[in-house]
Structure 1
Amino acid sequence: MRPCSLTVLSQLSPVSDSALDSAMPSQTLDPYTASVINATGPATTPRVRQVFSSMIAHLHDFLRENKVTVDEWMLGVDMINRIGKMSDERRNEGILVCDVLGVESLVDALTYDLESNDHTKSAIIGPFYRENSPQYPNGASIIQKDLGGDRAVVHGHVKGVDGLPIKGARVEVWHTAPNGLYEQQDPEQPEYNLRGTFFTDDNGYYEFVGLRPTSYPIPFDGPAGDILQLLDRHPYRPGHIHFLVSAPGHRRLITQIFDSEDPYVENDSVFAVKGELVVTFQPSTSEKAPFEVVYDVVLPTSEEVAAYESTKKK
């Protein structure tokens, strides 16, 4: 799901020269910094050279600007080490730290936002996604154990930009229990509770029963929590449901929907809320749940994305 090897970076194409120029510090490089950048070998790929040269230049400027001491640098090294030690297949502290610093939301926007608004907006995947969630038939419940909370029917259609339904689209969903914990954080929840995979029917329709999401604090026991305390910030996220939607020939969508009545919609600790992703949970007439929300998903084709990317580079 998330490649961890730097070889992936080496396979990517560099961005335009103008974009690189804007990314590099405008002033003449310090001789020491220039020597570090110039140590890059001739076999380095263009994208690796581009990213690391810019990163080194900005990092050195940051250290000089803030006159970072050895003790402060060691605190940063210790934090990086703790991030690695806390991360495993059930929790990704590295993503969580990026989230509270606004990094993942910014990278998401740089990667997926298109000029047109005829597709569904993306949002961060967060640190608690798990592959291979159980596959359920349309209309089934992802609630394996009753932990309280208000049930909600979530349903809609997956369509292309042309408005035509996409049959067989894969819709993965997951959210926390009312106690604010994902199942892999909570020994009281069964494996893959409140997670599920669905496939759209011939009309592009999907439906599942989950819970109306509640706001919750992100894990506060690691480096991400330390950063929030240092910055005097709260740890709360608004109630949300994660979606990962994919279909052959279309760009995969990672997104979230947010409850419009949640008080943290305007103050998300990881800066992930976009106005287009805020939904209203309405009273439901279904016997399955007291609330429902209709959420249609629009996926651009790979060709539509490529056409936009080509115009963006000009």
Structure 2
Amino acid sequence: MRKAKINIPNGIGEGALTSYIHTATLCTVDLETYKHFYGKVMKMQIDAVILTDEEKNKHKAFWNVPEDIDFDLYHCYRATVPSLIQLRILHLKSPTPQIHKSYSSYELGTFSLGFPTSDAKAMDKRMQEYGVKAMAPMQLGDIVRANGDKGHYLETIYKGPDYLHCVGIERVNYPQLAPCDPADGFGGPGYSAFVAKDSDAEVAFYTDVLEHHILFDSVWEAAEDGALGVNPGTPFRFCGIYAPKAAQNHFLLLDFKDGNMIDTGVQSCIPNQGLGMYTFQTGDIEKVVRNAKSKGITIKSEIQEVSDYILGDGKACLLETPNGMYVEIFQAG
């Protein structure tokens, strides 16, 4: 299989078992909306990936996609910042269940992709010009560091395709949450968030299996008229998990504590429509699998040789997190 047009870093920090989120896989029947939102509005590159029938069938078997589901494959990325999360888009030829039924933040499963920017006001103006709706007007918040230094952030949660939230966020006078294009301030995808019913188990997957670390973990209260759109004062766990030595492409976990979380009955995994899989690179896939087995994690596909347009040639396995997300682990050959 031919390789991607750009040189994509593997994201594995020195001494780390696994990388930051390297690739996020999304499924949709509405490719034109994806091209418009991620391509035209968010200014990302989208390339068609031509697969032979044999290559497609290998992907289906490995990703646990039923044989009767056909798809075309696309690679979406910010060419000027290749270290950001790569998007792998499966354009389905026939509909599958939708992971989300609405933009309610209470719905369990994948919640968002984050798009850090160095100019949130310019980004918001562009969103308005293209008719992209926001969950609430732009919010100004405070950043307080451990040493007492204070800063600010500007944040807006936009309504992306397939009910995925896309967050525009600028940290004022602080380094951004992920690198941005110096020419226009656009960045991302630079992180992703998930709403979990069993947040302890999901955190344990990232810390014990992938050997990531918790940067922050506390209980917040939802603001009045906040962009989350949940009941004011609702306590929710907000946890940030990073790969070792990484300062981008991290994982955020939300767990609302008012008893109103909604199970749509559709698992956050491919080929269901929406964001259904993360990919992490590793230098020791056997150790990742040992970690997974020791913690009772479901292994959907055992270690096998793979060839992937974005990742290249190597070995990979497919895991399922305690809350149903698919996680692909790849080791370059």
**Taking structure 1 as the reference length, what is the TM-score of the superposition?**
0.29
For the pair shown, which has the larger CA radius of gyration, 1 or 2? 1
Greater RCO, CA 8 A, separation 6+: 2
**Taking structure 2 as the reference length, what is the TM-score of the superposition?**
0.28
> Where is the helix percentage greater, Structure 1 or Structure 2?
1
